[in-house]
Structure 1
Amino acid sequence: MLKTFVHLLIAGALGTATLHAQDAQPWTPEKAKAWQEKSGWLNGCNFIPSNAINQLEMWQADTFDTATIDRELGLAESLGFTSVRVFLHDLLWQQDSKGFSKRIDTFLGLAEKHHIGVLFVLFDSCWYPKPKLGKQPDPLPHRHNSGWVQSPGIDALMDENQIPRLHEYVTGVVKQFANDPRIHGWDVWNEPDNNDGGKSKRPDLEPDQKIKSQHVEKLLPQVFAWAREGKPTQPLTSGVWLGDWSDPNKMYLIQRIQLEQSDVISFHCYGKPDHLTKLIGQLRRYNRPILCTEYMARPEGSTFDPNLGVLKKEGVGAYCWGFVSGKSQTIYPWDSWEKDYDGEPQLWFHDIFRTDGTPYRQPEVDYIRSLTGKK
């Protein structure tokens, strides 16, 4: 039933497109496993340079800082990281697709210099729902991800007239880099059933979550189809992040679409090792490679030692959230939107390095290197 529904949605999304039937379908498990054998164990972080508050500030021409990116990717290389997960944004393509493509290529070159591949994220439903191009706001003091923006913004998500523009972005950027070996994959939509985590401080910017989810349910299958129009040689994925995945009948429609349409399975887990192991077990039934594209929140019990070791033992790709402490301020916990902090928390929530490149905790760095084999 679900596959039939998803296929009907995809057929509508393709319209008169000339995709062959096999190109409109997810990879076979055998093809996905061949990709995994070639890629090896992917391990790394969600990467944004420390001097960028969000995706727009990272990528816009006047704030695209290759020196900082190069230096901080060097830190990633020093840990033995082999991959980084990096967020793009539809407004950047609308603003200047050629310039944006050139900057993506520059970033890929810097990552390759440090022997690191990239998992690009196309859309994201988290945090501020009203993105705007141009100068980005300064961080709110001591507040987790105070400037991160959704893509598409809520106005675009709710407006069917925006669909052609979003289609052009997805297909255009994937097609541009469809055969690029520096790219490990395409994460088509980060946490599509999430919302503005800062609602307590900025209410009424989004509609009721049920209404938002209805729009995402319609668009998500189309986004998978649009990405496949670009005929990528890299796999597509979208990570589930909440709920019970032990039985498809217990999952939301969005989650079922994510898992049924992904070439490789991905998920998020900020829980303790036993919970992490349980979730991996629930996802094994898809018989595909698995990536944990977000983990590591120290106060939640998700720590490098032992969670990264669990992921390696299970053969699951691992991308921690946070890297170099900076304008995203993810050393502060999620509850910094509910509680006021007046200084650096005693226990950092995310991030590995201080802005000057020194480790927050040297034993963590040593542990990571022990698993990656980096001396």
Structure 2
Amino acid sequence: MKKWSKERIWDWYKRENWLRGCNFMGSDCANRIDQWQELGFKERLKTADRELKLAASTGFNAVRLILEYIIWKEDHDGFMERLDQYLDMAYQYGIRVMLVFGNDCMLPYKDPNSHLHSGVQHFDIGYHGGRKNSQHSSLNKESGYSLLDEPELANDIYKWVAEIIDKYKTDPRVVIWDLYNEPGNAKREELTKPHLKKFFEIAREINPMQPITSGVWRINSNLDQTLCEVEQFVLDESDIISYHNYGNYIENVEIISKLKKLGRPIICTEWLGRVKHNTVQEMFPLFFVEKIGCFNWGFVAGKYQTYEPWEGTWESYYRGEPNDYDFTKWFHDLYRINGRPYDPKEIDIIKRLSREADLLKI
């Protein structure tokens, strides 16, 4: 099957209520292995249930979940059961799920085993993502490491992608397939290209009822000069256009204006970086007016600590580089660990515009 025609994707998009939500991980998860492994899952599921209920009451109707191949490989049946529990739990609160497979937001190859094992997960206090050695560091000069770099594992990862898409290809609990997170990031352009193409081939062959996408992330208002080859590929092959941006309001207005020229619906699958002046007060109303689906990063502050700034922003500051970072603000996340808002005014905006969208059926 080829990608959806513009007529088909617009017909699908117009039938959908405005998609808004977050990239979700329970506050008691140190990372995605913690999120999906059996160890401690019963307690973490209780946390996720409480926090997904909070997401629904905030006005969200979707979440983006990044899956973890390692757990599927080590505990296939358990992983599949836990994934189904997540989908069921979200759906009971009126929340549908965008599922993500590949991921190029990765640490360098020199330390491939630091975060690729099941069991008790270490995390560092005071660091974005719970890691001193961060994939967000500007000092990383080597390509990020992926299990797809291991030839004996790549075919197995393709089977993982195929099994899950095939299982949920007609499931209303799944809203969109996001095949690969930030393809080409961490200096992986040429490394990722063949695997990204294979992921799209697998999805097209299965032909799910949900649209397929992958997001461009290295993007500003000049698309021609900022996109690497793999990002151009996903713009060419995605049913629905998706992008990431943590820049300010004006930058996003310019990006949206450029992406609109592609003639397809748009969703922003990562946003909210208060330190960089990407705020709820400006961005959420913009997405509402434009009917651009939006998934901010983070929800309840916890072990993953994405309220802390990116390591790269600290490094830039200490190098004395010109910037306008506001380190008095949380970077991501909407709620404190006790369930109270980081800023109640943000939640008021989200609730008000979500109610308006549902009333207007936009």
TM-score class, shorter-chain normalisation, is 0.7 to 0.9
**Contact 1:294–1:318 (Cα < 8 Å) also in 2:** yes
Are 1:295 and 2:271 counterparts?
yes
Q: Contact 1:171/1:226 (CA < 8 Å) preserved in 2?
A: yes
User: 2:21 — aligned with what?
Assistant: 44
Distance 1:103 1:167 in 2: 20
Kept in 2: contact 1:84–1:116 (CA 8 A): yes
User: Residues of 1 paired with 2:198 and 2:229: CA distance?
Assistant: 14
Report the equivalent of 1:121.
100
How far does the alpha carbon of each residue in 1:319-358 deviate from its partner, in whole angstroms, 9 at most, with x for none? Answer: 111110001101110037856xxxxx64111111111101
SS of the counterpart of 1:325? coil
> Partners in 2 of 1:149 and 1:171 — Cα distance?
28
Q: 1:163 to 1:338 in 2, by over 3 A?
A: same
Structure-2-length-normalised TM-score: 0.86
Change (3 A) 1:190 1:322: same
Q: For 1:336 and 1:254, how far apart are their aligned partners in 2?
A: 23
Whether 1:369 and 2:346 are equivalent positions in the alignment is no
**Residue correspondence of structure 1 range 331-350 to structure 2 within 5 A:** 331-335=307-311, 338=314, 346-350=328-332
Q: Which residue of 1 aligns with 2:320?
A: none
- Among residues 106, 119, 122, which one is paired with 1:138 in the alignment? 122
Q: Which residue of 1 aligns with 2:87?
A: 108
Secondary structure of 1:267 counterpart? strand
Determine the C-alpha separation between the residues in 1 that align with 2:168 and 2:207: 10
CA offset at residue 361 of structure 1?
0.8
Shift of 1:244: 4.7
The offset of 1:274, in angstroms, is 1.2
Superposed CA RMSD: 2.4
Residues paired across the two proteins, number: 332
Report the alpha carbon displacement of residue 72 of structure 1 after superposing the two structures with TM: 0.2
Structure 1 residue 58 corresponds to structure 2 residue 49? no
Q: Distance in 2 between matches of 1:325 and 1:266?
A: 25
Q: Displacement of 1:98 after TM fit? A: 2.2
* Inter-partner Cα distance in structure 2 for 1:305 and 1:174: 36
Check whether the contact 2:181–2:215 (CA below 8 A) recurs between aligned residues: yes
Deviation readout 1:159-181 (Å, 9 max, x if unpaired): 33322111101101111111110
Residue 324 of structure 2 is matched in structure 1 by: none
Q: State whether residues 330 and 349 of structure 1, in contact with CA within 8 Å, keep that contact through their aligned partners in structure 2.
A: yes
Alignment of 1:71-86 (within 5 A): 71-86=50-65
- Asked if the contact 2:220/2:254 (under 8 Å) is kept, the reply is no
Calculate percent identity across the aligned residue pairs.
33
Secondary structure (helix, strand or coil) at the match of 1:187 reads strand
What are the within-5 Å matches in structure 2 for residues 166-315 of structure 1? Answer: 166-195=157-186, 209=187, 212-244=188-220, 246-248=222-224, 251-315=227-291
Secondary structure at the counterpart of residue 62 of structure 1: coil
1:73 aligned partner, one-letter code: L
- Over residues 263-317 of structure 1, what are the superposed CA-to-partner deviations in whole Å (9 max), with x where a residue is unaligned? 1000011111111111011111221111000111112111001111001101100
Contact 2:49 2:89 in 1 (8 A): yes
For 1:8-19, what aligned pairs fall within 5 Å after superposition?
none
Give, as a single letter, the amino acid of the residue that structure 2 aligns with 1:176: K
- Per the alignment, do residues 241 and 189 of structure 1 end up closer, same or farther by CA in structure 2, a change over 3 Å counting? same
Assess if the C-alpha contact under 8 Å between 1:56 and 1:136 holds in 2: no
Aligned partners of 1:102 and 1:333: how far apart in 2? 35
| Greater displacement, 254-263 / 224-233 | 224-233
Distance 1:41 1:251 in 2: 27
Unmatched segments (≥5 aa) in structure 1: 1-22, 196-208, 340-344
Q: 1:252 to 1:346 in 2, by over 3 A?
A: closer
Q: 1:142–1:336: 8 Å Cα contact kept in structure 2? A: no
CA distance, structure 2, for counterparts of residue 141 and residue 282 of structure 1? 40
Uncovered stretches (5+) of structure 2, i.e. residues with no partner: 137-143, 316-326
CA contact (8 A) 1:143 1:336 kept: no
Q: Match of 1:373, SS?
A: helix
